[in-house]
């Protein structure tokens, strides 16, 4: 039962990833593209966690944590660059 739920949820997350990539490529504004990139990180974290649940391994959770940290730092850097034009002051 759990395996079927994880497979169904992972297919829905993959659909969300595809829609995020579409928004990132065709976004009308740069802010929409940055938000799509941030959502892409979140959905990839969800997919990695679901893969860890499916395989029963705790190693995937560490990878998801690394992607979460990199996603936060890169989103903050992109927003700071967008607002000020310079990352390091």
Higher local confidence (pLDDT), 33 or 88: 33
Contacts of 51 (CB under 8 A, 6+ apart): 10, 60
Contacts of 41 (CB under 8 A, 6+ apart): 67, 68, 70, 71, 74, 75
pLDDT tens for 2-24 read 889 999 999 999 999 999 999 99
pLDDT tens for 22-79 read 999 998 998 899 899 999 999 999 999 999 999 999 999 999 999 999 999 998 888 8
Whole-Å CA distances, 2 to 5, 7, 42: 5, 9, 22
């Amino acid at each position: 039962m759990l395996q079927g739920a994880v497979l169904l949820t992972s297919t829905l997350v993959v659909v969300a990833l595809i829609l995020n990539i579409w928004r990132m490529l065709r976004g009308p504004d740069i802010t929409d593209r940055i938000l799509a990139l941030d959502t892409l990180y979140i959905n990839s974290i969800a997919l990695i966690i679901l893969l860890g649940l499916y395989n029963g391994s705790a190693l995937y959770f560490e990878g998801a944590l690394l992607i979460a940290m990199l996603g936060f730092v890169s989103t903050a850097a992109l927003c700071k660059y967008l607002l000020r034009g310079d990352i390091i002051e």
